[in-house]
Amino acid sequence: MKHLDQAFRYVRGFTVIIILGCLGLCSFVLYKSYQLAALTQSKVYILANGKALEAFAADRKENVAVEARDHILLFHQDFFNLDPDDKSIQASLTKALYLADGSAKQQFQNLRENGYYASLIAGNISQRIEVDSIELNTTFYPYYFRLHGQQTILRTTSIVRRSLVTEGWLRNINRSDNNTHGFLIERWRTLENADLKIENR
């Protein structure tokens, strides 16, 4: 009976150790799996040209200048890069007007009323913009910018190069499909748009 009682205690102690070991192992595995899940959820991979690139999340404040410059560049390209096609002009200007307030719409309406877009189509004229620099002040809100660039107007008989200087302010708005940067250009105006050079073709 003593041996039986002692054997029972050994079996009970061994069982308790096994159960505690299993609980400890399960807890460790659960902890490690949650840790791995959190690590994988914090990483995002983007597929570009057949290559997987890791993307990192960052606070918007770190990228304000980059996003603002890209917004300004995109607006000016959509507003000034035009071909002699009514649908193409309309599509490009519609995209541009989503990025700016009524000041850009007012300039668009003035140009349309003066027959500028009709003359582009009638004369088979293409227009392009090359941005030289974008000065941006992110110290004060709304953010002031000044763009320096060149406008090239391709006619059938000549190529006209014009200087282009514009200015405006950027304010934050909600991002959308039509405005991916979440900025709106306000009080936009053209400071200079003068002929630099005319070449005959």
Q: What is the per-residue pLDDT across 29-74, written as a single tens digit (0 to 9) for each?
A: 999 988 888 776 666 667 766 666 666 655 556 678 888 999 999 9
Long-range contacts of 84-89 (CB under 8 A, 24+ apart): 84/120, 84/121, 84/123, 84/124, 84/125, 84/126, 85/121, 86/117, 86/121, 89/117, 89/120, 89/121
* pLDDT at position 186: 94
User: What's the distance, CA 107 to chain centroid?
Assistant: 25
The pTM assigned to this predicted structure is 0.69
Burial status of residue 116 (CB atoms within 10 A of its CB: 0-12, 13-18, 19 or more)? middle
Write down the CATH number for the domain with range 61-200.
3.10.450.230
Give 137-164 pLDDT, tens digit per residue. 988 889 999 999 999 999 888 899 999 9
The pLDDT of residue 18 is above 70: yes
